[in-house]
Structure 1
Amino acid sequence: MIQGTLFDAPITLQELESHLWEAANILRGSPVDRTDWKSYILPLLFFKRICDVWDEEYQAMIEEYGEDFPDEHRFQIPEGNHWKDVRIVAKDVGRALQDAMRKIEAANPGRLDGIFGDAPWTNKERLPDYTLKNLLEHFSSVVLSLANIPEDELGNAYEYLIKQFADDSGHTAQEFYTNRTVVHLMVQMLAPEPGESIYDPTCGTGGMLISALAEVKRKGGEYRTLKLYGQERNHMTASIARMNLVLHGVGDYQVMRGDTLERPAFTESDRLRTFDVVLANPPYSIKQWNREAFQTDQWGRNFLGTPPQGRADYAFLQHILKSLNPKTGRCAILFPHGVLFRKEEAQMRQKLVEADLVECVLGLGANLFYNSPMEACIVICRTSKPRDRQGKVLFIDAVHEVARVQAQSFLKPEHQTRILNAYQHYSDEPGFATVATLKEVAAQDYSLSIPLYVRRTTANNQTQEVKTLAEVWADWEQGSRNFWQEMDALVDMLDSLENN
């Protein structure tokens, strides 16, 4: 173990977060784009952690058994590839780092395969030796042992870094970060239990899986019996998710790489694997997806129909529904509001409602999609509703249950509590929640637009009359709130920025 370090003793979470974020300052002014900082800093953090834990385990075994002891570690570090070995390299530091990481992955098959990602460590134009040496020395000043920094604490610090990188990276953050207060609410509503399987088909950095684990732990359940599964198309983001799970002490997990719609990773024979709980924030309304293949989908994910080319939302929805356990399956999906009322998906929405799969439609306030002003909604479905909820849908209008501080929007604990109580009680609450029968939804042409069912309270505490779908739509357009057109314009703008 490296002695004489700055933090060779337990430190507070705040000290740790501050020290880790200082690593980003080393990259400021370098040729590395700020959107790529995470690709270097997070793997370095993980590398340092597993080496320090290896040292800690080695020392504990010597103290217990003496020089003749079983050399057992949770992760193997091949000789010559420890952090301290790379630290003393004076030339071609990137090559030494990359070689050490690849050898550690190979020494831990099935557990750390590809976990360090694919950052170009050997590109000296982006990362000259002196920059890497500065990063190595910075991380070397903290001993990341379990005794100094328990798993929960380091996991929280890792999540902090992910949040900071999201704040720094602009609109691309949507690909790998979901507002954690929204995630916490989704998990609370689904109430995962010990021993259940949890799946996120577009898992990003694994935040939803971690939140499910934390919820079971918070309620005193045996969280180690959870089985966590995720798929992520971005190679580096998938690696970050795997590192995130390991740093949180998760043992039973699988995070696969690949496009969920094109090549679902979790299958059994001729069908999709099913899970007890699915949490998801799919990329909204992607235009570039293989609609033609979906029309004859081999996994039967077009049972509601084939979505339009410009909006793959219902493709993800159907994938999720087909991935639910027939008896225990429930899901919470974060969507833009358009999925509730768009005309081109009307027939699919009708089949969805008639199948009695929708349990709750929750409308959230603006700016909870990361770096986007759009309003979001959460759609909760169950394959087997409780008897008293069958033939019904709960609509919750929580558009005002949101706080905004320093340009950040989030749900306060009291917001989450009010929404959760409404969902659990499953009853009418004037101006906030309404239970509608499927017959009532059918009368609105199967639209799930929340204002059709929840009468908002006016300034004098009166409730507004329920309008027809045509009236609501007319008001929407007249008030310049054609939400979907604004969303399309935003997506088109982002597409043009990415292509420039």
Structure 2
Amino acid sequence: MAEQENSKDLISVLWSGADILRSKMDANEYKDYLLGIVFYKYLSDSFLIKVYDLIYDEKPETLKIALNVFIDALKDESAEELKDEIKSSCHYVIEPELTYTNFAEAARNNFFNREQLQKAFNNIEQSDPLFADLFTDIDLYSNRLGTGDQKQSDTIASLLKEIDKADLLNTDTDVLGNAYEYLIGQFASETGKKAGEFYTPQAVSKILTRIAISGQESKKGLSVYDPCMGSGSLLLNAKKYALEPIYIKYYGQELMTSTYNLARMNMFLHGIAPENQRLRNGDTLDGDWPTEEETDFNMVLMNPPYSAKWSAAAGFLQDERFSDYGVLAPKSKADYAFLLHGLYHLKNNGTMAIVLPHGVLFRGVAEGKIREKLLRSGNIYAIIGLPANLFYNTSIPTCIVVLKKHRDGRDVLFIDASKKFKKGKKQNTMTDEHIDAIVDLYHKRETIDKESYLASFEDIEKNDFNLNIPRYVDNFEKEEEINLNELLTEMKQTDDEIKKAQNEVLSCLKDLTSSDQDIMLSINRLVEMIEG
């Protein structure tokens, strides 16, 4: 309960930081400032806590005390040794004057200098390749912050003071990580269409992860890969369901640089050790990655951009990811290119779960050929139809395709979950009960009237390899037959009640009197109208 309270307190502080910027720019811009500065506070606070722990082998009472201890330690002969030890542990060193604690104090006393904060960002970026270009999206000199040097500085100072109220010293990484996730979700809600670039709704993330991790929960050193990782929230779901979460290896790629930076921050804020994360800024389809060291994974999770354009250049027919299929996904719809990329990087005994538009289930030509080959090879394991309007960037209904690399059977489980949702103002949502029901149907892997259907390969072949869910799961609700006699009786009763009410109104009107002739004329006309 205390953890929930901590999380709420933290969220309200961070969200009030957003209020400072909300009137100046839209959510897609101010998320970079807010999340970046929160991350710098996390790095700075973690650093001071580590310094104090190295010197006294305990946690400091306050960050101010830890800062003073660090200042004193730097005067000592063993200062360089201390710095080296911290650097090897944290991958960076922050000078006392560049700590967040010092900046917040300066902001409170009206002598904050944003050049110093820029220097602090630069120092972190240059300290280790892990942090390269991490703060590039934060423009401390933007006119959006205000007109003129003083107003811009004041805006940043206000933000620093507000975020300093967040007590990271007494907050564990899960609470901090969850607060960060909540903020990302809130930005997605405010941003609307652009949110598709960085956020998968948590309900969908939970379904994808629980399905892909099934049977692998206790694996030590579980590897998880998302080639379109956005802010990394889908990848990070794995640690919620794994029994050995500290050993999970995370691999992710993201095309948008600002979103890639967000994912890197998100990983650290969730306490993921640097050696357990390999993230890359790049185009998943243009050039294969990873190609060295580990290239196949226990879990592949994906929510790629739907029906995106790609080059579909002839050279890709020689690319190992696509060469077995003889055709390429069409230029105007890269859905199957993403799917085949993910499948290529799946371990033989792993599971892949990908969200795609329903078109992949029935479109023909090249996509039809790829789908048939996947079905003949037994790669498609399950299809789950999701409710419409779950995502911030599209209202179209989507489906989850579950794939396996090698298995004995070629049957496919179809689940129609299109009605498992709670209606919302902007987006529909799914409750934990909805999610549990879907995962339960997935594990049962049997035909249940109006909910699921286990189709044999012969069933699918008869349907010309068309996987459109209504062909297999009939969720049509037959309307109750109308009893005409009962309906006529009800209509007569209603008629009688109307007549009775009219008579009562007439009786009241006839009893009315007035010395005003106009009023009496109006009453009499009304009586005539009712009497018909």
**TM-score band, normalised by shorter chain:** 0.7 to 0.9
User: Separation in 2 of the partners of 1:56 and 1:10?
Assistant: 23
Is the partner of 1:111 in helix, strand or coil? helix
Deviations for 1:221-262, whole angstroms, at most 9, x for unmatched residues?
111111001000111111111111111111111111011111
Equivalent residue number for residue 78 of structure 1: 94
Could you say which residue in structure 2 is the equivalent of 1:213?
239
TM-score by length of 1: 0.82
* Contact 2:384/2:414 (<8 A) preserved: yes
Q: Is the alpha carbon distance of 1:95 and 1:447 closer, same or farther for their aligned partners in structure 2, counting shifts above 3 Å?
A: farther
The answer to whether structure 1 residue 133 and structure 2 residue 157 are counterparts is: yes
1:96 is matched by which residue type in structure 2?
A: Q
**What letter is aligned with 2:223?**
S
Cα distance per residue 1:321-341 (max 9 Å; x no partner): 11111x222100001111101
1:294-309 superposed matches below 5 A: 295-304=316-325, 305-309=327-331
After superposition, residues 216-255 of structure 1 pair within 5 angstroms as: 216=242, 221-251=243-273, 252-255=276-279
Distance 1:93 1:314, change over 3 A: farther
Deviations 1:423-473 (A, max 9, x none): 1111111111111111211111111111111122423699xxxxxxxxxxx
Shift of 1:157: 0.3
On the 8 A contact 2:255/2:283 being kept in 1, the answer is: yes
Matches within 5 A, 1:105-116: 105-107=125-127, 109-116=128-135
Pairing partner for 2:357 from 307, 316, 336: 336
Q: Cα 1:142–1:423, aligned 2, differ >3 Å: closer, same or farther?
A: closer
* 1:373 CA drift (Å): 1.7
Give, in whole Å, the separation in 1 of the partners of 2:378 and 2:317. 24
Distance in 2 (CA, whole Å) between partners of 1:199 and 1:93 is: 41
What does 1:76-225 align with in structure 2 at a 5 Å threshold? 76-79=92-95, 80-87=97-104, 88=106, 93-107=113-127, 109-124=128-143, 126=145, 128-145=152-169, 148-191=170-213, 192-193=216-217, 194=219, 195-216=221-242, 221-225=243-247
Aligned to 2:29: 36
Which one-letter code corresponds to 1:201 in the other structure? P
Q: Tell me the residue number matched to 2:39.
A: 46
- Aligned ranges 1:457-476 → 2 under 5 Å: 457-459=476-478
Deviation at 1:129, TM superposition (A): 1.1
Q: Distance in 2 between the 1:309 and 1:356 partners?
A: 26
CA distance in 1 between partners of 2:301 and 2:438 (Å)? 17
Q: Does 1:402 align with 2:421?
A: yes
Structure 2 gaps of 5+ residues are 59-68, 147-151, 482-532
Q: Which runs of 5+ in 1 are unaligned?
A: 1-8, 463-500
Conservation of the 8 A alpha-carbon contact between 1:278 and 1:331: yes
CA gap of 1:53–1:407, structure 2 versus 1, over 3 A, is same
CA distance in 2, matches of 1:37, 1:118: 10
What per-residue deviation string (whole Å, max 9, x for no partner) do you get for residues 80-139 of structure 1?
Answer: 4322344437789443323211211222x2433333343322334545111111111111
Distance 1:461 1:348 in 2: 43
Q: 2-side partners of 1:265 and 1:318: how far apart?
A: 13
Describe how 1:365-380 pairs up with structure 2 within 5 A: 365-380=387-402
C-alpha deviation, 1:10, in angstroms: 11
Cα pair 1:395 1:436 within 8 Å, conserved: yes
Matched, 1:260 2:253: no
Task: Report deviation, 1:402.
Answer: 1.2
Q: RMSD in angstroms over aligned alpha carbons?
A: 2.5
Residue 468 of structure 2 corresponds to residue 449 of structure 1 = yes
The number of equivalent residue pairs is: 439
CA contact (8 A) 1:52 1:143 kept: no
1:4-41 C-alpha deviation (Å, 9 max, x unpaired):
xxxxx9962111111101111101222x3332111111
SS of residue paired to 2:98: coil
SS at match of 2:235: helix
Matches within 5 A, 1:343-492: 343-344=364-365, 345-385=367-407, 387=408, 390-459=409-478
The aligned amino acid for 2:121 is M
Instruction: Give the match for residue 63 of structure 1.
Output: 56
**Would you say the 8 A contact 1:170–1:371 is kept in 2?**
yes
Moved beyond 6 Å, runs of 4+: 65-70, 89-92
Measured in 2, the distance between the counterparts of 1:99 and 1:19 equals 26
Task: Tell me how far apart the structure 1 counterparts of residues 479 and 296 of structure 2 sit (CA, whole Å).
Answer: 49
Q: What is the SS of the residue equivalent to 2:455? A: strand
CA deviations over 1:337-357 (Å, ceiling 9, x no partner): 111011232111111111110
Instruction: Quote the residue 2:528 is aligned against.
Output: none
Name the CA shift for 1:297/1:461 in 2 (closer, same or farther; >3 Å). Answer: farther
Task: Name whichever of 67-76 and 393-402 sits farther off.
Answer: 67-76
Work out the CA distance in 1 between the residues paired with 2:142 and 2:315. Answer: 40
Query: Could you tell me how far apart the structure 2 residues matched to 1:100 and 1:322 are?
Result: 41
From the two aligned structures, give the one with the greater helix fraction: 2
- SS of corresponding position for 2:131: coil
Q: Do the aligned partners of residues 442 and 11 (structure 1) sit closer, same or farther apart at CA in structure 2, a change above 3 Å counting?
A: closer
Q: Show the counterpart of 2:15.
A: 21
| Counterparts of 1:10 and 1:392, CA distance in 2 | 44
CA contact (8 A) 2:251 2:277 kept: yes
Residues in 2 aligned to 1:160 and 1:255: alpha-carbon distance in whole angstroms = 22
